[in-house]
């Protein structure tokens, strides 16, 4: 009985209670954020004195193979029925290299009365540059548009035709082709350069004696210019 009482007294004398207050950190020495259970991860980033990045601005260009001041010489083809005009441009001849973006085409309208809308298609061409015929199968359309030609009398004028869908000519392309198509109805005659057979302008129209499916080079090349940015 005496031994049991002695053990109880010893334990009572050495007893203690551990509470949160016994292990709380000192606010003066605790790291930032430690008191609320978070760590201060914010680090002041050093300022970098770097030069601005130079982004090249687009440069406008215009492709042309003909002189508009000779457009009064004649009209290219007849002026009724379904007609298609084509022109092929070699980029290297104009100091250009793809990629480029074609945003508009201008077409010399020699004469027009109640003319229908002209459909415009622009793209790359995989056929020969100097040829007597235009191979439609080698024409890859990349941009389109349409416009109505105003009523004009001879000698007419260049009519600008923006593309609703600009043609993105990819890198590696060397030839750009333009197709202008007018359905039957009204009177529409394109301006021409009046030169001998010129291998970059082509024409197709059953009603004008150039039928079939292959546009032919004409003795009076159609006047077309192409504009965009590179």
Question: Could you state, in order of their start, the residue ranges of all structural domains in the chain?
Answer: 60-229
Q: What pTM, to 2 d.p., does this model score?
A: 0.71
Tokens of 79: 């002026």
Contact indicator for 213, 138 with CB cutoff of 8 Å: no
Burial class (CB in 10 A: 0-12, 13-18, 19+), 161: buried
d(CA 4, CA 22): 32
* pLDDT, greater one: 48 or 183: 183
Q: Is residue 47 exposed (0-12), middle (13-18) or buried (19+ Cβ within 10 Å)?
A: exposed
Q: Which two tokens stand for residue 54?
A: 């130079």
Q: At 69, phi and psi to the nearest 5?
A: -70, -5
pLDDT digits (tens, 9 = 90+) for 178-219: 999 988 877 787 777 665 556 688 888 776 666 667 787 765
Q: Which residues contact 68 (CB under 8 A, 6 or more apart)?
A: 108, 158, 191, 223
What local confidence, expressed as pLDDT, does residue 2 receive? 42
Give the 3-state secondary structure of 127-188.
Answer: CCCCCCECCHHHEEEEEEEEEECCCECCCCEEEEEEEEEEEEECCCCCEEEEEEEECCCCEE
Q: Fold for domain 60-229?
A: Jelly Rolls (2.60.120)
Tens of pLDDT along 132-169?
A: 889 999 999 999 999 988 898 877 888 999 999 999 99
Cβ(139)–Cβ(215) below 8 Å: no
């Amino acid at each position: 009985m005496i031994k049991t009482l002695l053990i109880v007294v010893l334990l009572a004398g050495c007893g203690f209670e551990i509470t949160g207050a016994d292990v709380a950190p000192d606010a003066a020495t605790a790291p930032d954020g430690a008191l609320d259970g978070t760590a201060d991860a914010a680090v002041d980033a050093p300022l970098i004195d770097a030069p601005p990045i130079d982004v090249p601005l687009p440069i406008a260009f215009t492709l042309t193979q003909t002189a508009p001041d000779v457009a009064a010489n004649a009209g290219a083809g007849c002026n009724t029925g379904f007609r298609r005009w084509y022109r092929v441009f070699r980029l290297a001849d104009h100091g250009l290299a793809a990629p480029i973006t074609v945003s508009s085409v201008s077409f010399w309208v020699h004469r027009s009365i109640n003319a229908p809308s002209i459909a415009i298609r622009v793209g790359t061409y995989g056929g020969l540059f100097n040829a007597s015929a235009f191979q439609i199968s080698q024409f890859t359309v990349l941009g389109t548009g349409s416009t109505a030609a105003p009523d004009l009398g001879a000698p007419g004028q260049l009519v600008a035709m923006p593309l609703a869908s600009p043609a993105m000519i990819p890198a590696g392309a060397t030839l750009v082709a333009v197709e202008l198509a007018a359905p039957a109805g009204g009177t529409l005659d394109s301006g021409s350069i009046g030169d001998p057979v010129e291998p970059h302008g082509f024409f197709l129209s059953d009603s004008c004696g150039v039928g079939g499916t292959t546009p032919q080079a004409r003795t009076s090349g159609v006047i077309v210019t192409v504009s965009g940015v590179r």
